[in-house]
Copies of this chain bind each other. A is one copy, B any other.
Amino acid sequence: MDALTIGQLGRATDTKIETIRYYEKIGLLPAPRRTAGNYRSYAAEHLQRLGFIRRTRDLGFTIEQVRELLKLAAHGEKPCEEVDQLVVRHLEVTERKIAALTRLRRELRETLDSCQGGRIAECRVIQALSPPTAARKKRVLGSRT
């Protein structure tokens, strides 16, 4: 008997109950049948599907990408190119995020290095956080492209 309540399914997949109901509402997880008392009753397919959803979400795919992956997984006879493409694109996005955050980290470290203690008025950290404005003003008053 593989009938799970929503709470059991949540514990099984490390998912909050509200999240499961949310996935149902947006059509990501199919609505299960109901008991006499109107409780949701999940079967093995739901467990499998929600597991897939959680895993891919944890890997950072968007809901729309998860939807795509689920659709592809259901068409086992097609070549796996599309699947791999999706993963490749997400890998690229992830790499760009890492690069951006790494630049950020460097800037924050440099900012901190500039502080030698003292009063805020003289602190180079605050100065480093203020962008140079002189050059900008000129640009503005000039063209309006």
- Chain A residues close to B by CB (< 8 Å): 2, 4, 7-9, 11-13, 47-48, 51-52, 54-56, 59-60, 69, 72-73, 75-81, 83-84, 87-88, 90-91, 94-95, 97-98, 101-102, 104-105, 107-109, 111-112, 115, 117-123, 125-126, 129-131, 133, 136-137, 139-141, 144
Contacts and interface: CB of A to CB of B under 8 A. Distances in A.
Nearest to A4: B140
B55 A129 contact: yes
Contacts of A119: 76-80
A40 B106 CA distance: 37
Contacts of A54: 131
B95 A105 contact: yes
Contacts of A90: 108
A98 B101 contact: yes
Nearest to A77: B119
Nearest to A102: B98
Given A11-B140, A73-B129, A80-B119, 11 more contacts: A2-B137, A8-B141, A11-B144, A47-B136, A59-B104, A72-B120, A73-B126, A77-B119, A94-B105, A95-B105, A98-B98
